[in-house]
Structure 1
């Protein structure tokens, strides 16, 4: 008996047109294994609605065709549902897909589905909002808000925004509680990592694991702007933890308190949160077809 698979396609993720997706699904998906359906999203949050309806309709596999934001929308509906998710990476950074070693070539990613191999990964919560790759406060949340407004989304646009804003952004004071141990930090940004990287192989938490039941809290302390290229180099060579400007704490029950309400990002999508943020982890709560 063939499995039912639904592809949820974000038509604008990563700045790529997705009109080719149906034809390569038809060509590279094994139709002896799957009965396929394709739906294109029409607005922010639409993927979550479609995925929730797919769960209610007992569809076996729901595939996210987009970036980490689209993955978040789909996975938020599938997490703890017992249904299986697949990823066809079409985003700007593709952090989760890269960590899972899912091919960035869409054809190869679709062919990989025919192997039918699954893994379970952890998910995180940020004041009850789910995340699966990375959530953050501070400079990266500021950049995510700017990037979301940029019509030229892509790695180049992200780098341009970063260089433009980095010298103007000021660090803030935070209280961070990790499994009951409290740290006072003056931080440029704080990233809470389920996987090791933001995307594009920039590893903020080199030892983070998707299935260890823990989250890595990565604190980037204020640094001279001229040191940024070295810090970036450490990220791309998985040596972030060796920097004097980085502290990494690992735990399950995390709370971050700042002076005021402000921006955050959840899997790259900007949001506005209160000054107190409760962070948790749900071990092995999402099944992925990889």
Structure 2
């Protein structure tokens, strides 16, 4: 592996201007240090996957440039291989980069990419698709869907408005959550299978989660009056919500989330994307990704 050859995979249609603005000073620093830097613009997530695998086959460190969706796509394409992955946080949330402690400033990030050693971290396989941070179902996935459809707002503002709409219109859902064969029947808001502790633009949903312990932290937010749920939402900033009786956390290697409400359909989310509808099975892939991180 030539650690001084990089291919940056960028999606120009999703936050492309922010990604380009973040990448330019970083690429300049890498090239000034003698590194080779190629930039590939993807036409979408499937194309980004192909670009990432092609760059890895050429022996390059593959850089995912963007937010959690793009980073998850590129990193997921490399999971289970010997390729080395680097994150260039340039999106709205940057939650997986936050969990890993990846610096956001060009100088600090360039030093990490040039001199850092690959670190093996876990990933998730969700209905057969690699995911880096978390898989979630419930009001948060609906909020994600609302934010994606918001055209007049961007960034965290879009998510806040989407989340407010989701909560105000939410009806409690009945879930069957199976964790390593143990079944939990729960009624409430959301179920999150977390590899990374952060999701939803910096919310510390699973404060004890670790990306290298071979386990998923399964956070179940049970039914509560909506005013109390708003308090729980505010406590996601610092992770103190896990002390509430309405929040239950268990750990396991394989998690299946199903709806038991007849006729009800809910999406599930993964790294800021919405791959499909429940049910979903999330399995940890221990040490599956080699990433340049502190």
Distance apart, 1:106 and its partner CA: 4.2
Q: Deviations over 1:143-188 (max 9, x none)?
A: 1122222233311210121112211111211111111211110121
Q: Does 1:67 align with 2:67?
A: yes
| Aligned with residue 280 of structure 2, among 270, 277, 281 | 277
Distance apart, 1:121 and its partner CA: 0.6
Q: Deviations over 1:81-103 (max 9, x none)?
A: 10000001011111100111112
Classify 1:187/1:14 alpha carbon distance in 2 versus 1 (closer, same or farther; 3 Å).
farther
Measure, in 2, the Cα distance between the counterparts of 1:42 and 1:171.
38
Distance apart, 1:128 and its partner CA: 1.0
Q: How does 1:237-276 map to 2 (within 5 A)?
A: 237-259=238-260, 261-273=265-277, 275-276=278-279
- Contact 2:141 2:267 survives alignment (8 Å): yes
**TM-score, normalising length: structure 1:** 0.91
Q: How many residues align?
A: 288
Q: Does 1:133 align with 2:133?
A: yes
Between Structure 1 and Structure 2, which shows a larger proportion of helix residues? 2
For 2:90, the equivalent position in structure 1 comes to: 90
For 2:289, the equivalent position in structure 1 comes to: 286
Measure, in 2, the Cα distance between the counterparts of 1:66 and 1:104.
12
Distance apart, 1:13 and its partner CA: 4.1
Measure, in 1, the Cα distance between the counterparts of 2:16 and 2:229.
27
Classify 1:142/1:176 alpha carbon distance in 2 versus 1 (closer, same or farther; 3 Å).
same
- Give the RMSD, CA atoms, in angstroms: 2.0
**TM-score, normalising length: structure 2:** 0.90
Distance apart, 1:8 and its partner CA: 0.8
Determine helix, strand or coil for the equivalent of 2:236.
helix
Distance apart, 1:263 and its partner CA: 1.0
Measure, in 2, the Cα distance between the counterparts of 1:108 and 1:246.
37
Classify 1:175/1:46 alpha carbon distance in 2 versus 1 (closer, same or farther; 3 Å).
same
Distance apart, 1:196 and its partner CA: 0.6
Distance apart, 1:239 and its partner CA: 1.3
Classify 1:2/1:222 alpha carbon distance in 2 versus 1 (closer, same or farther; 3 Å).
closer
- Contact 1:8 1:65 survives alignment (8 Å): yes
Measure, in 1, the Cα distance between the counterparts of 2:247 and 2:16.
32
Classify 1:99/1:14 alpha carbon distance in 2 versus 1 (closer, same or farther; 3 Å).
farther
Determine helix, strand or coil for the equivalent of 2:18.
coil
Determine helix, strand or coil for the equivalent of 1:45.
helix
Measure, in 2, the Cα distance between the counterparts of 1:170 and 1:280.
28
Q: Deviations over 1:193-252 (max 9, x none)?
A: 001111543111110100000001111112222223421232112212101211111001
For 2:110, the equivalent position in structure 1 comes to: 110
Moved more, 188-197 or 149-158: 149-158
Distance apart, 1:265 and its partner CA: 0.8
Measure, in 1, the Cα distance between the counterparts of 2:59 and 2:141.
35
Moved more, 62-71 or 152-161: 152-161
Q: Deviations over 1:13-52 (max 9, x none)?
A: 4574344355313422155452110112223432112112
Determine helix, strand or coil for the equivalent of 1:109.
helix
Measure, in 1, the Cα distance between the counterparts of 2:138 and 2:16.
25
Measure, in 1, the Cα distance between the counterparts of 2:267 and 2:194.
17
Q: How does 1:190-269 map to 2 (within 5 A)?
A: 190-259=191-260, 261-269=265-273
Determine helix, strand or coil for the equivalent of 1:237.
coil
- Contact 1:189 1:219 survives alignment (8 Å): yes
